[in-house]
């Protein structure tokens, strides 16, 4: 194996020794000896570079491309269980980047980008359906994308950059070189690989092998000045919430990434808290940045899967942005004053199980239904906030049977 022109001078390279004389060409081959000689590393001189201070204003800023997740020259990873909605969101994000349109509230720092969707699992027709459905949902036209979107399937052309050989895990240099050439020629800004496990043929539990693969992807990103986003599965968690450590296989992949987004379905508890019907919770998922070591931690982002009907008769799920209703949407100071007046006019218990529950006068003041489960959960949430803010207070007192109970009274009266 010879040195490649695009390798930095200080990279360890492997090269066979040149023959010392013409007799060497005529000798019997020594397969074991030749292999050892070929794999003996030749190391160029290593030098320590003195750090040079320069003005902060002269430091090159990080080249963010999409939100605080995709960054030029770096590797990012998306981790999720199957069927959550990650592939649909990746399609939506690709269309957002290629069109330059803000579809999900993520900053496009350089405007429209050149994006390559490489789905190594699904046939091209499935990706095409999802693209059409997403474009239909967000009213994206072909002219909005220009020549900036590229789509390929691993079923048509494999993209396996590493494999096991009799001598261990090895980078498939011809594949990597071809990939680099194409990224450069098409001037790709973002390459999405879905799923990561199909981009290599090494043991996914071998930390050294996966570290080699992950760092090769990072090297490709650096050489091509692009962002590479790897979509990865989680190991079976029996319903437990996923995080970066839930990624399937060796942990070295997460270690090599500079940003890791984690996908989770809406839980029953979250549905109750956010006012989503239990039978609809399966359509919702959230995304959290569980490793943002080059950016401040981001807040949770919610999405809802909506079906879009295509003209061919297919219904295709599209990941759409979704924001939970704020607990106090539509609640004004005048509403709070009515709540305080209603609470102050009676003797109301804190417990929702009590017949004289304080939620009843609150519901009447706000024109809500205390018997409706969604309204009831909202009232309970508002009461907690009002007690925390001091506009209501919880005190101990005696009921009609002289039993000690907790009651809700007015705290600090609110005025216009």
Nearest to 284 by CA among 253, 251, 317, 308: 317
C-alpha–C-alpha distance, residues 88 and 72, integer Å: 23
pLDDT at 22 over 70: no
Looking only at the bridges linking them, the beta strands covering 190-194 and 64-66 are unpaired
Look at residue 37 and tell me whether its pLDDT is greater than 60: no
Chain-centroid distance of CA 92 in Å reads 13
Give the pLDDT of residue 35: 43
Q: What is the mean pLDDT of residues 90-98?
A: 98
> Which of these, 194, 217, 234, lies nearest to 91 by C-alpha position?
194
Residue 19: pLDDT above 50?
Answer: no
Distance CA 32, CA 62 (A): 47
Over residues 93-117, mean pLDDT = 97
Question: For residues 15, 20, 26 and 27, what is the CA-based torsion angle, rounded to 10 degrees?
Answer: -80
Inform me whether the pLDDT recorded for 363 exceeds 80. yes
Check whether 398 has a pLDDT greater than 50: yes
Looking at every residue in the chain, the average pLDDT score rounds to 88
Sign of the alpha-carbon torsion through 352, 357, 359, 360: positive
pLDDT at 148 over 80: yes
pLDDT of residue 408: 95
Q: Are 220 and 183 in contact (CB under 8 A)?
A: yes
Give pLDDT tens digits for 248-279.
899 999 999 999 999 999 998 888 778 788 88
Q: Which residues contact 111 (CB under 8 A, 6 or more apart)?
A: 100
Provide CB contacts within 8 A for 122, sequence distance 6+: 87, 153, 155
Beta pairing class for 190-194 and 115-119? parallel
CA distances for 314 relative to 121, 153, 307, angstroms: 20, 20, 10
C-alpha distances in angstroms, 148 versus 96, 165, 188, 189, 217? 11, 37, 8, 9, 22
How much is the CA Rg of the chain, to the nearest whole Å? 30
Q: Are 195 and 120 contacting, i.e. CB atoms less than 8 angstroms apart?
A: yes
- pTM recorded for the entire structure: 0.76
């Amino acid at each position: 194996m010879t040195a490649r022109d695009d390798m930095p001078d200080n990279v360890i390279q492997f090269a066979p020794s040149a023959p010392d004389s013409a007799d060497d060409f005529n000798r019997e081959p020594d397969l074991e000896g030749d292999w050892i000689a070929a794999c003996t590393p030749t190391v160029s001189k290593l030098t320590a570079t003195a750090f040079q201070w320069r003005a902060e204003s002269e430091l090159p800023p990080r080249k963010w491309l999409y939100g605080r997740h995709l960054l030029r020259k770096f590797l990012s990873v998306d981790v999720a269980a199957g069927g959550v909605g990650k592939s649909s969101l990746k399609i939506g994000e690709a269309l957002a980047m290629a069109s330059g349109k803000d579809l999900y509230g993520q900053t496009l720092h350089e405007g429209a980008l050149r994006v390559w969707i490489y789905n190594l699992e699904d046939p091209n027709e499935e990706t095409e359906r999802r693209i059409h459905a997403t474009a239909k949902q967000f009213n994206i036209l072909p002219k909005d994308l220009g020549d900036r979107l590229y789509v390929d399937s691993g079923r048509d052309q494999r993209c396996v950059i590493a494999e096991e050989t009799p001598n261990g895990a090895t980078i498939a240099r011809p594949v990597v070189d071809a990939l680099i050439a194409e990224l450069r020629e098409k001037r790709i800004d973002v390459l999405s690989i879905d799923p990561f496990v199909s981009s290599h043929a090494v043991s996914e539990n071998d930390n050294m092998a996966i570290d080699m693969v992950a760092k090769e992807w990072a090297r490709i990103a650096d050489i091509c000045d692009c962002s590479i986003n790897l979509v990865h599965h989680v190991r079976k968690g029996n319903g437990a919430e996923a995080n970066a450590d839930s990624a399937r296989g060796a942990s070295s992949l997460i270690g090599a990434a500079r940003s890791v987004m984690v996908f989770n379905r809406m839980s029953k508890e979250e549905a109750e808290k956010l006012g989503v019907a239990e039978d609809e919770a399966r359509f919702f998922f959230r995304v959290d940045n569980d490793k943002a070591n080059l950016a401040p931690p981001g807040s949770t982002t919610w999405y809802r899967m909506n079906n879009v009907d295509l003209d061919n008769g297919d219904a295709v799920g599209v990941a759409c942005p979704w924001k939970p209703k704020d607990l106090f949407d539509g609640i004004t100071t005048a509403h709070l004053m009515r709540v305080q007046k209603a609470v102050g006019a009676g003797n109301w218990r804190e417990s929702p199980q009590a017949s004289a529950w304080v939620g009843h006068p609150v519901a009447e003041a706000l024109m809500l239904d205390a018997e409706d489960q969604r309204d009831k959960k909202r009232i309970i949430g508002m009461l907690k906030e009002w007690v925390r803010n001091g506009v209501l207070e919880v005190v101990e007192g005696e009921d009609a049977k002289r039993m000690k109970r907790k009651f809700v009274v007015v705290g600090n009266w609110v005025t216009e």
